């Protein structure tokens, strides 16, 4: 992640070469007008903005020459009031468009302090590009290194630092998720964790395949047994002095999902490197929480396995034993995420936290039900309310889904305590997955399940602060949950 130097000023700086000045464009009385700003826009006054190509359409950007070699970047702000969510998305759109300039000046008028901060946050989140394995000749690095936010709001260095921490964690999550599966597998994810926690005072414990077998983690073992790259369980712990609340995060970390012997169609297998998003999100959430110094005890459980078909892979009809002693009849090896999460949830329960949240790209049914931008949220009523409030504060999209009692019977098994799916049933797949996970958390512990299958990967064009590829969705919500539980905000 390129570090951006952010300056806050009450008045816009002078025009100079290689600097973009972001101004808002709105429609008023069927004519386009600039939003009020301290930037000298007299060079535009004699022109019809529409003839210059400008538009009030939300996130549209038109670049026009400004004095002294600078450029006006005219961004459509839409017809409605510019609230925090809109400001955040405008910031992201501006970041994607202005990366070729050395500096950017953002002046969208009299924004509230929360909207001004959201604009900066969106810019930081949107200033991202994953180049992966591209050769240097194919990479055009960003020039942008400095932002000036023009506002009367009193924004502190601490507030800007907190935004930078969150943006860095989101960017790192995206990097992990975008990494090709030949480079991202359970053992390499462990190395990424060990490297990423250096200097933060976090404790890391790793279970290899021998330790997993010895300590009864049958779900993770079963899913990973078909791969030549064995599974891992990672516990990351942040426990500052004086912490009175304990939050546990359990992340699904399937580093590649072929479906196992219940093999996916070829076109459905492309993109399955994203199936470890839950684990990457849980990992970087703890990193961000620790860097922010929140007074809360947090543990993250990363359930890592590669789901491959081979002569050693688990079979449909196998019965496996989860960490808490429950047995599971595996009827579909492509419903593997819930198996590794069952182990992770069982381990988290043993520590008796105040709240458990699991994060997983769990079901295709979530995407069918909610599309590509909303995460499905299920769980205990109190936990759901906490996550909903945190998501609203973070500006992320979640939708509370029910766990209808009648669906639980679909998972009844004649040979085990529970089956992992109901073969032939296509109704309520996301909810059935939630029911399965519910079985591994006692009712006395608050628990929420986030199915992020839709928003974890953006296969379409970038929008707002959301890039193409891994999105880093829900991390800011999880940090917001930690802030709430710790009484920090």
- What is the phi/psi pair of residue 207, to 5°? -105, 120
β-pair type (103-107, 146-150): parallel
Q: What is the pLDDT of residue 1?
A: 56
Q: What is the pLDDT of residue 22?
A: 98
Q: Above 60 in pLDDT, residue 489?
A: yes
Q: What is the pLDDT of residue 2?
A: 64
Three-state DSSP at 158 gives helix
For 427-452, the pLDDT digits (tens) are: 999 999 999 999 999 999 999 999 99
Q: Above 80 in pLDDT, residue 3?
A: no
**C-beta atoms surrounding 132 within 10 Å:** 12
pTM confidence score: 0.97
Q: What is the pLDDT of residue 137?
A: 84
Instruction: State the catalytic residue, choosing from 96, 99, 235, 338.
Output: 338
CA proximity to 298, closest of 354, 377, 217: 354
How far apart (Å, rounded) are the C-alpha atoms in residues 71 and 77?
18
- What is the phi/psi pair of residue 64, to 5°? -130, 145
For 335-373, the pLDDT digits (tens) are: 999 999 999 999 999 999 999 999 999 999 999 999 999
Q: Residue 74: which region, alpha, beta or left (left: phi > 0; alpha: psi -120 to 50)? A: beta
**C-beta atoms surrounding 124 within 10 Å:** 27
For 162-196, the pLDDT digits (tens) are: 999 999 999 999 999 999 999 999 999 999 999 99
Q: Above 70 in pLDDT, residue 471?
A: yes
Instruction: State the catalytic residue, choosing from 26, 264, 321, 385.
Output: 264
How far CA 337 is from CA of 253, 259, 265, 332, in Å, comes to: 8, 10, 18, 11
Query: In 179-253, where does DSSP find H-type helix?
Result: 186-196, 209-214, 218-224
Whether residue 296 contacts residue 353, with contact meaning beta carbons closer than 8 Å, is answered with no
β-pair type (297-307, 232-238): antiparallel
**CATH numbers and ranges of domains, the chain:** 5-151 (3.40.220.10), 163-486 (3.40.630.10)
For 60-106, the pLDDT digits (tens) are: 999 999 999 999 999 999 988 889 999 999 999 999 999 999 999 99
Say whether 252 is catalytic.
no
Whether residue 401 contacts residue 431, with contact meaning beta carbons closer than 8 Å, is answered with yes
pLDDT band at residue 17 using 50, 70 and 90 as cut-offs: very high
How far apart (Å, rounded) are the C-alpha atoms in residues 166 and 476?
7
Q: What is the pLDDT of residue 168?
A: 98
For 231-272, the pLDDT digits (tens) are: 999 999 999 999 999 999 999 999 999 999 999 999 999 999
Say whether 264 is catalytic.
yes
How far apart (Å, rounded) are the C-alpha atoms in residues 227 and 220?
12
């Amino acid at each position: 992640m390129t570090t951006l130097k952010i300056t806050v000023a009450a008045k816009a700086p002078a025009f100079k070469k290689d600097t973009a000045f972001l101004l808002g464009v709105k429609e008023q009385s069927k004519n386009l007008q600039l939003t009020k700003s301290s930037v000298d826009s007299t060079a535009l006054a004699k022109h019809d903005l529409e003839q210059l190509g400008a538009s009030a359409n939300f996130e549209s950007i038109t670049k026009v020459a400004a004095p002294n070699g600078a450029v006006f970047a005219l961004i459509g702000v839409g017809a409605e009031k510019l609230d925090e969510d809109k400001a955040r998305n405008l910031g992201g759109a501006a970041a994607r468009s202005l990366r070729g300039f050395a500096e950017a000046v953002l002046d969208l008028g009299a924004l509230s302090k929360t909207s001004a901060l959201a604009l900066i946050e969106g810019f930081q989140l949107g200033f991202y590009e994953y180049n992966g394995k591209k050769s240097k000749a194919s990479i055009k690095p960003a020039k942008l290194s400095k932002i000036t936010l023009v506002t009367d709001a009193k924004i502190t260095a601490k507030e800007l630092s907190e935004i930078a921490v969150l943006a860095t964690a989101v960017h790192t999550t995206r990097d992990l998720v975008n990494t090709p599966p030949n480079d991202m597998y359970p053992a390499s994810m462990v190395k990424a964790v060990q490297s990423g926690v250096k200097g933060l005072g976090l404790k890391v414990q790793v279970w290899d395949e021998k330790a997993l077998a010895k300590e009864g983690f049958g779900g993770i073992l079963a899913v990973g047994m078909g791969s030549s790259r064995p599974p891992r369980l990672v516990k990351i712990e942040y426990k500052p002095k004086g912490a009175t609340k304990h939050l546990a995060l359990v992340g699904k970390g399937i580093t590649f999902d072929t479906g196992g012997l219940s093999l996916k169609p070829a076109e459905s297998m492309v993109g399955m490197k994203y199936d470890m998003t839950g684990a990457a999100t849980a990992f970087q959430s703890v990193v961000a929480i620790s860097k922010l110094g929140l007074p809360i005890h947090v543990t993250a459980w990363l359930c890592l396995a590669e789901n491959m078909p081979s002569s050693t892979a688990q079979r449909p009809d196998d019965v496996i034993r989860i960490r808490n002693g429950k047995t599971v009849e595996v009827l579909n090896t492509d419903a593997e995420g819930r198996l590794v999460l069952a182990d992770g949830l069982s381990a988290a329960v043993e520590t008796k936290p105040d709240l458990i949240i699991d994060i997983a790209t769990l079901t295709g049914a979530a995407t069918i039900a909610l599309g590509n931008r909303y995460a499905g949220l299920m769980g205990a009523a109190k936990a759901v309310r906490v996550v909903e409030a945190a998501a609203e504060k973070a500006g992320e999209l979640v939708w509370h889904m029910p766990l209808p009692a009648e669906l639980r019977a679909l998972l009844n098994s004649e040979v085990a305590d529970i089956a992992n799916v109901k073969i032939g049933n296509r109704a309520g797949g996301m909810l059935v997955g939630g029911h399965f996970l519910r079985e591994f958390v006692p009712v006395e512990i608050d628990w929420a399940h986030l199915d992020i299958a839709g928003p974890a990967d953006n296969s379409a064009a970038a929008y707002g602060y959301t890039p193409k590829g891994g999105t880093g969705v829900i991390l800011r919500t999880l940090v917001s949950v930690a802030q709430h539980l710790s009484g920090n905000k």
